[in-house]
């Protein structure tokens, strides 16, 4: 496959820091080979997410290269202060408190005001759907859906800048293009090198969600007691060759 010609236009200086912050915020979860999220959902549909993420060397070097291209020193690679401001402006997020544990690692907490509002859309289907307990039905349901049609909009609700950079990375999550996993990794390798492609191929996002009741079923994961667990390959998220559908009922 012939790699596409990619030309990165410099951004105006007044938005360069926001561009880099958004890119780093997205990659803190989506391009880390060691990322975990632990969430707690309350009965009123509010919740909290505890995040731990560390970038791998090749991915971190790529981010530094983009930062240098846009005139940013990019030290640390993941800046908790700018990430807090970027994510704090996203829909459905009440507060963000992340801190650097190393130059290329962050951890902290994200408070969600209402589960159904998380990265909510003004049109189409939201990323998160939530059905609370009702009279005669004490349990509830939490669903997550992401596909190539909704992916680009969902990503831009998180950060326009992150979407721009993931478009440069040619990820269907950002572009919506029809590109299979067997095509995507060789394309990334041809443009950014085998190292970046290998890190993407090995990366996984581990998620544990605690709900306000005993879990009765889980789609796309496993469960025990009040906890649902998911182990998601990064490649599945970036390419969306098959729509991602996860669900917890309790």
What is the enclosing helix (H) or strand (E) of 160?
helix 160-168
Check: CB of residue 88 under 8 Å from CB of residue 18: no
Q: What token pair was written down for 81?
A: 């202060």
Q: What average pLDDT does this structure show over 30-50?
A: 83
Closest CA to 9 of 164, 154, 147, 160: 164
Question: What is the pLDDT at residue 196?
Answer: 87
153-210 pLDDT per residue, tens: 887 776 666 677 677 778 898 888 889 999 999 999 998 899 889 988 988 889 999 9
Positive/negative CA dihedral, 25, 30, 33, 38: positive
Cis ω on the peptide bond leading into residue 76 (within 30° of 0)? yes
On the 0-12 / 13-18 / 19+ scale of CB atoms within 10 A, 177 is middle
Check: CB of residue 150 under 8 Å from CB of residue 124: yes
Provide the whole-model pTM: 0.78
Question: What is the pLDDT at residue 29?
Answer: 56
Q: How far apart are CA 160 and CA 4, in angstroms?
A: 22
| pLDDT over threshold 80, residue 3 | no
143-168 pLDDT per residue, tens: 999 888 888 888 777 666 667 767 77
Between residues 16 and 32, the one the model is more confident about = 32
Between residues 102 and 44, the one the model is more confident about = 44
Between residues 70 and 206, the one the model is more confident about = 206
Q: How far apart are CA 217 and CA 250, in angstroms?
A: 7
Q: What token pair was written down for 31?
A: 């391009």
Q: What percent of the chain has a predicted confidence (pLDDT) above 70?
A: 75
Between residues 97 and 64, the one the model is more confident about = 97
Q: What average pLDDT does this structure show over 56-62?
A: 77
Backbone phi, then psi, for 99, in 5-degree steps? -140, 155
Closest CA to 156 of 179, 184, 136, 175: 175
Q: What average pLDDT does this structure show over 67-78?
A: 58
3-state helix, strand, coil in the chain (%, to 5): 35, 30, 35
232-249 pLDDT per residue, tens: 998 999 999 999 999 999
């Amino acid at each position: 496959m012939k790699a596409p010609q990619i030309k990165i236009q410099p951004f105006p200086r007044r938005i360069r820091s926001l561009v880099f912050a958004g890119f780093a915020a997205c990659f803190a979860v989506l391009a880390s080979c060691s990322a975990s999220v632990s969430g707690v959902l309350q009965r009123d549909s509010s919740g909290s997410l505890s995040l731990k993420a560390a970038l791998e060397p090749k991915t971190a070097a790529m981010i530094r290269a983009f930062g240098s291209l846009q005139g940013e020193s990019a030290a640390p690679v993941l800046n908790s202060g700018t990430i807090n401001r970027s994510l704090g402006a996203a829909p459905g997020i009440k507060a963000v408190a992340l801190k650097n544990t190393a130059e290329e690692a962050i951890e902290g907490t994200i408070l969600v005001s209402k589960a159904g509002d998380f990265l909510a859309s003004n049109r189409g289907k939201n990323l998160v759907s939530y059905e609370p307990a009702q009279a005669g039905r004490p349990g509830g349901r939490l669903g997550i859906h992401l596909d190539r049609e909704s992916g680009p909009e969902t990503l831009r609700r998180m950060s326009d800048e992150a979407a721009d950079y993931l478009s440069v990375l040619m990820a269907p999550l950002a572009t919506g293009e029809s590109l299979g996993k067997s095509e995507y990794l060789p394309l990334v390798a041809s443009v950014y090198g085998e190292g970046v492609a290998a890190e993407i191929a090995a990366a996984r996002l581990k998620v544990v969600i605690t709900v306000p009741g005993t879990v009765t079923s889980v789609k796309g994961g496993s469960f025990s007691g009040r906890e649902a667990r998911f182990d998601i390959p990064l490649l599945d998220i970036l390419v969306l060759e098959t729509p991602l559908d996860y669900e917890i009922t309790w």
